[in-house]
Amino acid sequence: MTVRETPQPWAQPLLVSDLSGNRSVDIDLKPTADQRLRIAGDLGILRVRKLVFKGTLSPVDNSDWRLSAKLGATVVQSCIVTLEPVLTRIDEIVLRQYLNVLPEFEAGSELEMPADVTTEALGKTIDPVAVMVEALTLALPLFPKISGAELKESNFTEPGKTPMSDTDTRPFAQLGQLRDEQNNDTD
């Protein structure tokens, strides 16, 4: 699944400079049918039937912000086996912390990525629509499958050649077979 890096045309990023440092901002996003169609297209799925993103953007200390919201969605994806539509309900809690100063790591340390993936650098804007779409993207099932659908083994090869099977792709099984053959030869 590929997510295009195009901003939603209806997004209204909040300017951090316009936010009050002592008052929370309510976030209540309910994209229209046309907006959900655009999101589905951007995510490469069949349909976004329902989508709600509701929460609060709150000040933390004097320079940081915290977004806490609930994402609710009903999406339709293609089954990875049959390509039939698969309906999925998604309910996720979404947390983001926007820090004016990110913690620094020692040069040469083995930690390349912070353990807290909800923390981001505070920029000039905070875009709740972008957070909603990102959270939806991360919550989508990677391999949607209708109940009872199974992928049968298929073998494809050139005419006259022996097709490779699933067991042929398991190198440790082949090593075990070689070991067993060697043990039988020594007996």
pLDDT per residue as tens digits for the range 19-45: 888 899 999 999 999 999 999 999 999
Among 19-23, 39-43, 133-137, 164-168, the minimum mean pLDDT is found in: 164-168
Full-model pTM:
0.72
- Min mean pLDDT across 11-15, 74-78, 106-110, 175-179 is at 106-110
Predicted confidence at residue 166, as pLDDT, reads 65
Q: Is the pLDDT of residue 3 over 60?
A: no
Q: Contact at 8 Å (CB) between 72 and 99?
A: no
Q: Nearest-CA neighbor of 96 among 117, 67, 121?
A: 67
Mean pLDDT along residues 83-89: 94
Amino acid at the residue 45? I
* Sequence spans of domains, the chain: 14-139
Residues 116 and 130: their CA atoms lie apart, in Å, by 19
